[in-house]
Structure 1
Amino acid sequence: MQRHDTIKTDQLFGLSFRDGANFNCWRGYQAIYGIQNDSLFLVAIISCGELKNGKFNRSQSIDKISSIFGRRFENGKVFIDWFDGNISFPLSNKVLRCDGIFNTTFEKEKVLLISKGLLTKIEEVSNYVDSRNGIDRRDKEKIPDIIFKELKKKWKNQKEFDCSDKYVVTIDSNGYISEVKMRYSEQEIEKYYEMTEYKFCIDKLFKALRALKFDVIRDKGQPVSEDIYLEIWIDDNGKLENWTR
């Protein structure tokens, strides 16, 4: 549990950084952008939660922007000519993935492609692709159970090594299992594991799971990979248990 009395409250743009802000406004300020004539502009910097009914203190916003950007601030806005990337807006209320802080991916979105501050393309995309014979992965919380079920089906009781441990299983951008690794840093693995044992367990899990085929997840229309946490325990009798939480 995070202790609020230990969070720093530094100043940024004259506003309190992290001072009581929730995850949607953890910097303590909000920036408002607009697109005019296919160009991306910063039009306001406001205090967190200040924007109500579409209104905010415009004079204070102007003072903040002009003090930061100086001559770049013209006609009440700043041209964001250094920005390259995509901006998306939901077209449905179905959330595919959410990290709880920075990124939320909706099943259907409108994506604006920006290059050096200029709007180059607008697309309506579907971020979920049903693959032929693919396993449904809309609900991420169910995927560890699906993976464990496949692993248990192919598991054979071998006494070489005990592979009880925490793993990360990667589903690649095409929906296939592309990698299995232990959930530790390389330094921890080198320090605490024999490489023969480590390689045996990784290869054993990968061979058991590599035939799985999932549907494809996209982010802003682009296929992405995804890491799934899996923890297994092997009893003395060889029985495999799912300890994923």
Structure 2
Amino acid sequence: MSYLRSICPIIVLSCASPAIAQDDEQTLAPFRSLIETRLAALKSGDIAKYMAMLDKDYVVISDLGERRTRADLPAYLPTISNPSRSYAIQSIHARIIDDIALVDAEIREDMADAVGGWHESDIFVRQGSRWLYLHRQDSSILYPPAPVPTDADPLDDYVGQYRSAAGLTDIITVRDGTLYGQSTPQDAPTALIHVGPGAFAIPGGADLLVFTRSPTGTVTGLIGHLTSGQISTSAKLP
């Protein structure tokens, strides 16, 4: 049974009673407490307290797609513990299926110079009078960068065509104090959001475009920082 739970919790769930979705505070309270206790233990570096909440077959998938088992955590947790960070549950929902609970929660993370957050999907297993973490998977919440004034940024410097190593060409134009980008002349230009010197965000996401300059200040290219973690580079055409 424990082997099946560790490799595929859905096998257990498929044979269980229908889920009872309850978002009343009485149902949510134990899971809210478990998440808050886990985050407090992470913040303070109390690894023993953190580990005591985990089933022996516990697995976590990070927002970067990294898989860790319970045995991996004593060495890993100290590397991400940070007492200067604070955490708060923004929302929480639960479904209970016999001795299994499916919980999803939105967590806000406040850092000294930034705000972050993630959605976590938790599977808890009941053992006697306790709920233990069996599985967790995180998904980062992507917060679009805040726009900043363009007064000190010479937008005309960025106008031109930029070609990538794959042969794709992006077209950058400026109109009424706003920079626009398009992939082909037939595309409707997309207004870019100025987020810092030479840096622009694409609306609707967290992708960033950063223009590069030579030592003399001439714009030479464009670097795309994609939310997938990939980096694309393009050179400005003469």
User: TM-score normalised by the shorter chain: which range applies?
Assistant: under 0.3
TM-score by length of 1: 0.22
Which structure has more relative contact order (CA 8 Å, sep 6+)? It is 1
